[in-house]
Amino acid sequence: MYTKSSVEDRCFSIIFKGRRKNLDLIASSKDEAERWVSCLQKVILLLNDLDRQKNSEHWIYECMRKADTNGDNKMTLKELKQFLRHINIEVDDGYAEMLFKKCDTSNSATLEGSEIEEFYKLLTQREEISVIFGKYAKTSGEMSASDLLNFLQYEQRETVALDHAHKLIERYEMDPTAKQNKQMSKDGFLMYLNHEEGSIFNPAHKGVFQDMQQPLNHYFISSSHNTYLMEDQLKGPSSTEAYIKALMKGCRCVELDCWDGANGEPVIYHGHTLTSKVLFKDVIKAIKEYSFKTSPYPVILSLENHCTIPQQKVMARHLTSILGSALLTRPLGKQMPTNFPGPEKSKKIKLAKELSDLVIYCKSVHFSSFEHSRENQAFYEMASFKESKATNLAENSATGFIHHNMEKLSRIYPAGSRTDSSNYNPVPLWNAGCQIVALNFQTPCKEMDLNQARFLPNGKSGYILKPEFLRDPSSNFNPNNLSAGNPCQKKNLHIMSSIMFQATPAQIISAQQLPKINKDKPKSIVDPQVRVEVYGVPEDNATKQTHHIENNGKLSHKIAFKQFVYVQLTQEIFSTGFNPSWNINFQFTIRVPELALVRFVVEDYDAASKNDLIGLYTVPLSSIQNGYRHVPLLNKRGNLIPSAGLFVHIMVLDA
């Protein structure tokens, strides 16, 4: 929000995830504004600290509250059925009545207090966890530290010692007696699996862990196209909010299309269209404020300049006056540089890419050929490629493109024909070493899922160090012809059953608390299926999917028995709305694991029309943890669905 300086200290904005607009507020005093901001920050902090189990409980009790139509904190059988539909479980009347009577110990024809807790306990019981826990709990029905260590080493493939098992017990065991005896109960084990140690995403990659002192062109850089747009590029709104949302997602290269505006003030919008306009100076203020909230590393301003000389001077004045010392105005170091600096330099904040004489490291030039660029283009001169040109080079001259990008920066942008602000596939461009692969951040789609996954590791800093074979001048790597020179160790990706305790073909196990898709039809229940997709070099691209489960695994009074021969164990399996089970074996052979992304997609199957998305998650193969792991699920806009997830067993092994 930008307003008069006299009331600035009373103003604050609430920025929502998704497509909702910001809420701009003015308090009656500075102190009141500070109290509001402080309290809101505490709420956000508490929400961010919720683990999967707490999120699950919060979601379940919220659904119970909605089902309690008369607000008496009790549940009738009718309200119980309504609650089960809220949480996406289809039950027959006989089973619902049996479950209700089992919990109604007071015979009051309602559930309340401890009876609701018992109902919740029965509802959330997960047999697959019981089976895994039972195999390793060799100490009076609980896991000793040694038992837990065996699980961590054999199943999770973690190279840890006994003290690590002690730390996990201390951190996650809630029962004081078990904790004192250095043992882990089943509840503690589930708590461990629901935290980041049990996530598919390696927590060691959560922070910055890569070398950040390589030249800038050795990194993939999270980049946005038409950053000012909230929607399509014909008549959609332009807003500073779009810059804020992109920067908060770790974007490190934003685009500003600059045109002459009224009263001598340049504006930003998609020229010669009906998109709305936003003041250039307001955008620069937003960039100043939000550039380094998520990442401390440099932001590149990609200016598409259509302004006349007088308004160019106004742009330069706003850049220097608003950004101040944050603006990079001269080369780093005491001597004229011969190559790019790294994202890490000094503690001084830097922004790159300016107008005219202020341009330091990213001067825009026309691309003719790789030979011409090698002989005539300085390292700080950057060529921009339309997606079709770049894709053609990546397909037909991949090795030449890779070597070009070892010395120069390349920026790729969507074709102008994408009036709906759709996106192209960024993966082939990353495979060719292109650094600035700019996408329309405002458009939720598979391509943005892949982009979010590419920049998920390394602290979401917006910089990912390219693999060595995309940086080494002696490399002859060609993503389209691996036989010519593939330096990578081939990997096999297994996704295995919770019951099959050996390295066999891959399997999806179960899902938890899948959300309803059609909330307008309260009786509708999803028919979930899971698809696993691999994106990387052409030889690695692959897709496999499970069967769908009718009515999300309808609960009934019938008990299904299933024999798992690998451990010679018979176990009761309820395929409930909380745990629809697939037990489908998957295996992928991946030739270039350093470039591979693995995407999990959960959909509501429909035989008559297109499947609806339930949730998805994409992760770099190199950031996957082995063993029994929970996979969080995101909605189509990339935001976490707090209560939902997949449970899988993963093995990434040398082929």
- 25's torsion region: left (phi>0), alpha (psi -120 to 50) or beta? beta
Q: Greater confidence, 489 or 565?
A: 489
Domain ranges of the chain: 5-48, 52-123, 127-198, 219-332+339-470, 488-654
Kindly indicate the confidence band of residue 556, based on its pLDDT and cuts at 50, 70 and 90. very low
Q: Which of 28-37, 121-130, 155-164, 208-217 has the lowest mean pLDDT?
A: 121-130
d(CA 324, CA 110): 66
181-196 per-position pLDDT tens digit: 999 999 899 889 988 9
Q: Which residue in 103, 125, 122 sits closest to 114, CA to CA? A: 103
Kindly indicate the confidence band of residue 380, based on its pLDDT and cuts at 50, 70 and 90. confident
| pLDDT of res. 92 | 61
161-177 per-position pLDDT tens digit: 999 999 999 999 988 89
Average pLDDT over residues 73-82: 84
Phi then psi dihedrals of residue 507, to 5 deg: -150, 135
Q: Which residues are annotated as a binding site for Ca(2+)?
A: 226, 255, 257, 304, 525, 527, 551, 604-606
Q: Which residues are annotated as a binding site?
A: 226, 255, 257, 304, 384, 411, 525, 527, 551, 604-606
d(CA 544, CA 424): 22
Q: Active-site residue 225, yes or no?
A: yes
Q: Which residues are annotated as a binding site for substrate?
A: 384, 411
The fold of 127-198 is Recoverin; domain 1 (1.10.238)
Average pLDDT over residues 600-620: 91
What are the tokens at 484?
């010519």
What are the tokens at 23?
């809420």
Q: Which helix (H) or strand (E) holds 278?
A: strand 278-279
- pLDDT of 353 above 60: no
Kindly indicate the confidence band of residue 225, based on its pLDDT and cuts at 50, 70 and 90. very high
| pLDDT of res. 43 | 80
Kindly indicate the confidence band of residue 222, based on its pLDDT and cuts at 50, 70 and 90. very high
* Residue 127, helix vs strand vs coil: helix
Kindly indicate the confidence band of residue 655, based on its pLDDT and cuts at 50, 70 and 90. confident
Of the segments 19-23, 436-440, 490-494, 509-513, which one has the largest average pLDDT value?
436-440
Judge whether 103 and 119 are in contact, CB under 8 Å.
Answer: yes
- pLDDT of 632 above 80: yes
* Residue 152, helix vs strand vs coil: helix
Q: Greater confidence, 409 or 528?
A: 409
Q: Greater confidence, 252 or 40?
A: 252
Q: Which residue in 98, 100, 116, 89 sits closest to 555, CA to CA? A: 89
Average pLDDT over residues 41-65: 70
| pLDDT of res. 579 | 65
d(CA 511, CA 639): 18
Average pLDDT over residues 552-579: 36
Residue with structure tokens 């006056």? Answer: 321
- pLDDT of 350 above 90: no
Average pLDDT over residues 88-99: 70
- pLDDT of 624 above 80: yes
Judge whether 507 and 581 are in contact, CB under 8 Å.
Answer: no
* CATH of range 52-123; options 2.170.190.11, 1.10.238.10, 3.40.50.261, 1.10.1520.10: 1.10.238.10
- 513's torsion region: left (phi>0), alpha (psi -120 to 50) or beta? left
Q: Which helix (H) or strand (E) holds 370?
A: helix 370-376
What are the tokens at 71?
């607000």
Identified catalytic residue from 270, 403, 548, 649: 270
d(CA 492, CA 591): 9
Q: What do you get for the CA distance between the two ends of the chain, in Å?
A: 54
Q: Within 10 A of 183 (CB to CB), how many other CB atoms are there?
A: 22
Kindly indicate the confidence band of residue 573, based on its pLDDT and cuts at 50, 70 and 90. very low
| pLDDT of res. 590 | 94
Average pLDDT over residues 422-436: 98
What are the tokens at 95?
């089973």
- pLDDT of 502 above 60: no
Kindly indicate the confidence band of residue 127, based on its pLDDT and cuts at 50, 70 and 90. confident
Average pLDDT over residues 613-626: 95
Q: Which helix (H) or strand (E) holds 93?
A: helix 93-103
Average pLDDT over residues 535-552: 89
d(CA 653, CA 312): 56
The fold of 488-654 is Immunoglobulin-like (2.60.40)
- pLDDT of 536 above 60: yes
271-307 per-position pLDDT tens digit: 999 999 999 999 999 999 999 999 999 999 999 989 9
- pLDDT of 63 above 90: no
Average pLDDT over residues 625-654: 89
- pLDDT of 335 above 70: no
- pLDDT of 420 above 90: yes
- pLDDT of 371 above 60: yes
| pLDDT of res. 2 | 58
- pLDDT of 510 above 60: yes
Q: What is the pTM of this model?
A: 0.83
| pLDDT of res. 91 | 61
| pLDDT of res. 574 | 31
| pLDDT of res. 270 | 95
Q: Active-site residue 218, yes or no?
A: no
| pLDDT of res. 49 | 64
| pLDDT of res. 69 | 82
Q: Greater confidence, 535 or 66?
A: 535
Kindly indicate the confidence band of residue 408, based on its pLDDT and cuts at 50, 70 and 90. very high
d(CA 62, CA 52): 15
127-198 shares the fold of 52-123: yes
Phi then psi dihedrals of residue 534, to 5 deg: -115, 130
- pLDDT of 356 above 50: no
Identified catalytic residue from 86, 205, 218, 225: 225
The fold of 219-332+339-470 is TIM Barrel (3.20.20)
Mean pLDDT of the chain: 84
468-487 per-position pLDDT tens digit: 999 999 999 999 999 866 78
Average pLDDT over residues 93-102: 80
Task: Give residue 210's Cα distance to chain centre.
Answer: 19
Residues pairing with 654 in the sheet: 491
Judge whether 227 and 257 are in contact, CB under 8 Å.
Answer: no
Q: Which of 126-130, 458-462, 532-536 has the lowest mean pLDDT?
A: 126-130
- Burial per residue of 389-422, b for 16 or more beta-carbon CB atoms within 10 angstroms, e otherwise: ebbebbeebbbbbbbbbbbbbbbbbbeeebeebe
d(CA 197, CA 184): 15
Judge whether 25 and 13 are in contact, CB under 8 Å.
Answer: yes
d(CA 602, CA 614): 5
